Amino acid sequence: MKSFENTLTAQEPIKPLILGNPSFSSVTETISGICEKKETPIWWWIALGISGLLSLNLAAMIGYLVWEGTGIWGLNIPVSWGWAIVNFVFWVGIGHAGTLISAILFLMRQKWRTSINRFAEAMTIFAVLCAAIFPGIHVGRMWVMHWMFPLPNQMGLWVNFRSPLLWDVFAVGTYFTCSALFWYTGLIPDLATFRDRAKNRIKKTIFGVLSLGWRGGNKQWKHYELAYLLLAGISTPLVLSVHSVVSTDFAVSIIPGWHTTIFPPYFVAGAIFSGFAMVLTLSIIARAIFPQIKNFITMDHLGKIAKVILLTGTMVGYAYSMEFFIAWYSGNDYERFAFINRALGPFAWAYWIMITCNVLTPQIFWFKKLRSSIPVLFIASIIVNIGMWFERFVIVMTLHRDFLPSSWDYYTPTMFDIGIFVGSFGFFFFMFLLFLRFLPMISMTEIKGVLPQADPHHGGNSHE
């Protein structure tokens, strides 16, 4: 049982969460130093340039979409849902790991989360922003996008609250707002540190306003800590509810292969799976670029992320097989056909990519050696996200052979499908690069709080 080093059996010595035995001020120096450096590294400009160009490309393609309509995509009948919903589900899913890390792991007192929660939350916010693009643009007539909300209008008509597409509007809107509030609340004390360290007036004013006059007094901390705890509690059901609601977009319909009750838990597991893979990708990139954070985001962290990927990947694998079993067990011909067609039909290539990436790849993490190899972790994390994109693709492509063989068709993406998807990645990394450069990517306050000397009883300081 030695391998479960984080389950806290009080008798065993606990590994330090943060390596290098830093002092409070060296934590501040290391993390603020990244943002305060005068000269920006060249790689940052190159990466920002590429992702900025891709974002511009996204904007241009969306412009053309507004002009021309959704006909520029590869959509047809019966495949009337294409990459837009695939990308939407993909990006919302990515966000879930950030919320799980910041909320559920916080409630479970998993202190190792302190090193990765800040940028996992940033990842959530940018991923949900990317996700929100797609339902926004897929409506075709964007000038009536506000019809998604229950607003008074000249027809006196309201939205249909029985539709899962509307549940999505509320679930994703709430999710984005809560994630942003949670993230900002966590940032306040760190922004105060930036304010106090600011050398020039402009910076001082900006961080002064953003940190809202934070003084770090206990009369502030006591409300702050409770608010943080409450936000964690509030966000916890969101980890489960948001992707459950997203899955009802499919599950509430009566399409064979979609109309199943396994969808909500299966989507949630998949979301956490892909999100943790993205956290892993980003952590490894951040560690490579800023070697000074290696003491904060240690190999132990990466190993723990890999274990979560192994767990959720195996759950996803179970869901794939259970879906298949139930399709057979249901005795429903259409249901059986939908699944056999997934595995052996025209989109079999996508199905087997999905199985290889999502079910087989994470199994390598049973081995500690592979969990502690950076190249293996990095490649696996990317493979997992490719696989998770294909999972949603396979689900949506179930449409290509509907009840009527005469209308069967195949789906081929156009350059606009691909351009918009790649553009959303550009936008995601563009935002993330700005975040790495200008805001503390690791929570200084929380890191200081988990150092051994932060305990008031540390070093013989006992009190009654």
Partner 1 sequence: MSKTKSRTAGCIAEFAGPGELLKAAEKVRDAGYKDFDCHSPFPIHGMDEAMGEKGSMLGPLVGLAAFLGGSGALLMQWWMSAVDYKVVIAGKPFFSYQAFFPVTFSLAVLFSAGMAVVGMLSMIKLRFHHPVFYSERFKKASDDMFFISVLSDDPIFSEEKTQLFLESIGGAYVEALRVDDE
The residue within the footprint of partner 1, chosen from 19, 76, 148, 196 (CB under 8 A), is 196
Most distant CA pair in the chain: distance in Å? 82
Yes or no: say if 458 and 452 are a contact pair by the CB < 8 Å rule. yes
Q: Residue 15 or 223: which CB sits closer to partner 1?
A: 223
The distance of closest approach from Cβ of residue 89 to partner 1 in the complex, given in angstroms and rounded to an integer, is 16
Query: How large is the angle between the packed helices 299-329 and 374-397, nearest 10 degrees?
Result: 30
Q: Is 412 in the site for partner 1 (CB under 8 A)?
A: no
Q: Is 96 in the site for partner 1 (CB under 8 A)?
A: no
Which of the ranges 53-61, 281-289, 409-417, 453-461 carries the binding residues for partner 1, by CB under 8 A? 453-461
Q: Is 445 in the site for partner 1 (CB under 8 A)?
A: yes
Cα–Cα distance between 34 and 41 in angstroms, integer? 10
Which has the closest alpha carbon to 443: 13, 14, 15, 17? 17
Q: Residue 189 or 362: which CB sits closer to partner 1?
A: 189
The residue within the footprint of partner 1, chosen from 81, 112, 167, 365 (CB under 8 A), is 167
The distance of closest approach from Cβ of residue 36 to partner 1 in the complex, given in angstroms and rounded to an integer, is 13
Cα–Cα distance between 18 and 292 in angstroms, integer? 12
CA distance between the termini of the chain: 36
The distance of Cα 4 from the centroid of its chain, to the nearest Å, equals 26
Q: Is 124 in the site for partner 1 (CB under 8 A)?
A: no
Measured in residues, the chain has a length of 464
Q: What are phi and psi of 438, to 5 degrees?
A: -110, -15
Which of the ranges 80-88, 127-135, 212-220, 273-281 carries the binding residues for partner 1, by CB under 8 A? 212-220
Which of the ranges 40-48, 61-69, 166-174, 309-317 carries the binding residues for partner 1, by CB under 8 A? 166-174
Q: Is 227 in the site for partner 1 (CB under 8 A)?
A: yes
Which has the closest alpha carbon to 98: 278, 247, 241? 278
Q: Half-sphere exposure (CA, 13 Å, Cβ side) for 64?
A: 13
Q: Is 113 in the site for partner 1 (CB under 8 A)?
A: no
The residue within the footprint of partner 1, chosen from 44, 64, 170, 337 (CB under 8 A), is 170
Sign for the pseudo-dihedral over CA of 127, 132, 134, 135: positive
Q: Residue 98 or 387: which CB sits closer to partner 1?
A: 98
Which has the closest alpha carbon to 376: 299, 430, 316? 299
Q: Is 220 in the site for partner 1 (CB under 8 A)?
A: yes
Sign for the pseudo-dihedral over CA of 334, 340, 345, 347: positive
Q: Is 357 in the site for partner 1 (CB under 8 A)?
A: no
Q: Residue 188 or 305: which CB sits closer to partner 1?
A: 188
Q: Is 231 in the site for partner 1 (CB under 8 A)?
A: yes
Q: Is 36 in the site for partner 1 (CB under 8 A)?
A: no
Q: Where are the alpha helices (DSSP H) in 330-414?
A: 333-344, 348-355, 368-371, 374-397
Yes or no: say if 399 and 255 are a contact pair by the CB < 8 Å rule. yes
The distance of closest approach from Cβ of residue 461 to partner 1 in the complex, given in angstroms and rounded to an integer, is 3
Which has the closest alpha carbon to 214: 195, 192, 236, 186? 192
Residues 135-164 that bind partner 1 (CB under 8 A): 150, 156-162, 164
The distance of closest approach from Cβ of residue 456 to partner 1 in the complex, given in angstroms and rounded to an integer, is 4
* 235, amino acid identity: S
Q: Is 396 in the site for partner 1 (CB under 8 A)?
A: no
Which of the ranges 63-71, 120-128, 349-357, 439-447 carries the binding residues for partner 1, by CB under 8 A? 439-447
The residue within the footprint of partner 1, chosen from 173, 265, 303, 346 (CB under 8 A), is 173
Q: Residue 37 or 215: which CB sits closer to partner 1?
A: 215
Residue 264: is the preceding peptide bond cis (ω within 30°)? no
The residue within the footprint of partner 1, chosen from 18, 28, 319, 385 (CB under 8 A), is 28
Dihedral angle computed from the Cα positions of residues 378, 381, 387 and 388, in that order, rounded to the nearest 10 degrees: -150
Q: Is 434 in the site for partner 1 (CB under 8 A)?
A: no
Q: Is 189 in the site for partner 1 (CB under 8 A)?
A: yes
Cα–Cα distance between 210 and 193 in angstroms, integer? 11
Cα–Cα distance between 198 and 203 in angstroms, integer? 6
The distance of closest approach from Cβ of residue 217 to partner 1 in the complex, given in angstroms and rounded to an integer, is 4
Structure tokens at 397: 């492509």
Q: Residue 245 or 282: which CB sits closer to partner 1?
A: 245
Yes or no: say if 338 and 327 are a contact pair by the CB < 8 Å rule. yes
The distance of closest approach from Cβ of residue 208 to partner 1 in the complex, given in angstroms and rounded to an integer, is 7
Q: Is 285 in the site for partner 1 (CB under 8 A)?
A: no
Could you tell me the CA-to-CA distances from 26 to 16, 195, 203, 344 in Å, in that order? Answer: 16, 17, 22, 58
Q: Residue 345 or 440: which CB sits closer to partner 1?
A: 440
The distance of closest approach from Cβ of residue 421 to partner 1 in the complex, given in angstroms and rounded to an integer, is 27
The distance of closest approach from Cβ of residue 197 to partner 1 in the complex, given in angstroms and rounded to an integer, is 8
Q: Is 452 in the site for partner 1 (CB under 8 A)?
A: no
The residue within the footprint of partner 1, chosen from 25, 154, 200, 406 (CB under 8 A), is 25
Q: How many residues bind partner 1 (CB under 8 A)?
A: 72
